[in-house]
Amino acid sequence: MRYRILCLPLAAGLIAALLYYKSNQTYRPLTSEERAAVQSQQPAPMFTLHDQRSQPFKLGRYAGRHKLVVAFFDPADGADLNPQLQILKDGFARLTAHGEKIIAISSATPYANRKAFERGGDFPFHILSDADHSVQTQWGCVAAGEPPKMLPAVFVIDRAGIIHWSEVGGNEPVSIEKLETELAKAR
């Protein structure tokens, strides 16, 4: 009984010390390199979004069964003018030769994505709409600020549903050769 009475003040002191420590820490946002390292080897966050035909798309139907390339892009110019999506479109046959799947995500509405299909021809992969930025935030592809700014990003997800490789906030599109290399390394 005496030990229980001693534990309460010790626990209260420990909690107070931890609260003091946490309240005096300064917050520093992660750099893009730090964010990519943290995101790598993490389970891919699951989501359900609508595609260009306003049909629901569940990542869980593919993750764990296929290797995936997930690309986040800025919708400002439209999917048909985005250089990363053009690279994925042109290299589609090479990237999906062994059953891999490609998914592109932006904050554009399904209607805007449908118009991009009409202007730029057919994309052989789903283009999903994340109008409220919830999935982009969940995947670490939103820069701080008001309004939130979407960061371009490309992820390679292995068959176990784990993020094998990522590049977030890069200035240049990721090449087909780099994606082929990372897909080959993924389980």
Q: How many domains is the chain built from?
A: 1
Domain-embedded: residue 23: no
Domain-embedded: residue 25: no
> Whole-prediction pTM value?
0.76
Predicted local confidence at residue 106, as pLDDT: 92
Domain-embedded: residue 4: no
> How far is it, in rounded angstroms, from Cα 143 to Cα 73?
13
DSSP E strand stretches across the chain: 48-51, 56-58, 68-72, 101-106, 126-129, 142-143, 149-150, 153-157, 163-168
Predicted local confidence at residue 122, as pLDDT: 81
Predicted local confidence at residue 8, as pLDDT: 75
> How far is it, in rounded angstroms, from Cα 51 to Cα 43?
23
Domain-embedded: residue 102: yes
Domain-embedded: residue 5: no
Q: Tokens representing 105? A: 């995500």
CATH of the domain at 109: 3.40.30.10
> How far is it, in rounded angstroms, from Cα 168 to Cα 151?
7
The pLDDT tens digits along the chain (187 residues) read 666 677 777 778 878 877 777 767 665 555 655 555 555 578 999 999 999 888 999 999 998 899 999 999 988 878 888 999 999 999 999 999 999 999 999 999 998 888 888 887 688 999 999 998 899 999 999 887 777 788 999 999 999 999 999 999 888 999 999 999 999 999 8
Domain-embedded: residue 1: no
Predicted local confidence at residue 87, as pLDDT: 95
The closest alpha carbon to 88, from 175, 182, 156, 184, belongs to 175
> How far is it, in rounded angstroms, from Cα 160 to Cα 173?
26
Residue at 58: amino acid letter: K
Predicted local confidence at residue 172, as pLDDT: 93
Domain-embedded: residue 19: no
* Full residue range of the structural domain in which residue 104 is found: 30-185
Domain-embedded: residue 82: yes
The closest alpha carbon to 108, from 80, 83, 74, 139, belongs to 74
Counts for the chain of helices (H) and strands (E), in that order:
7, 9
